[in-house]
Amino acid sequence: MAHKHDHENHHGHGHGPDHEATPEMAFPEKMEKLLNHWIKHNRDHAETYRKWADRAMKEGMLDIGQLIEEAAAINEKVDIALKNALERLKDKT
């Protein structure tokens, strides 16, 4: 089932469950493709969060802007975990 969320989607793709992986791919190849996609997708979200955090702060909503900035920082931790998974995958193949 595709997930849906209400945000500007400027990263040029849909949000289908398998994103760009095809069923014909070997599992390691599919996993690598998905991890690379998720890393980029996650970066795109962090950029959007930071943009809106800045906008909120400029509108005087400092607490909201700081919370959105906190979400962007959490995304950076997700990015690190995904990159570590990709590196381990490369070590195994």
Number of structural domains found in the chain: 1
* Lowest-pLDDT range of 7-11, 38-42, 88-92: 7-11
Is 2 inside a domain boundary? no
Q: Mean pLDDT, to the nearest integer, of 45-62?
A: 98
Q: Mean pLDDT, to the nearest integer, of 13-24?
A: 59
Is 35 inside a domain boundary? yes
What does the alpha-carbon distance between residue 58 and residue 50 come to, in Å, rounded to a whole number? 12
Is 55 inside a domain boundary? yes
**Confidence check: pLDDT of 1 > 90:** no
User: Containing domain of residue 74, as a range?
Assistant: 27-92
Is 76 inside a domain boundary? yes
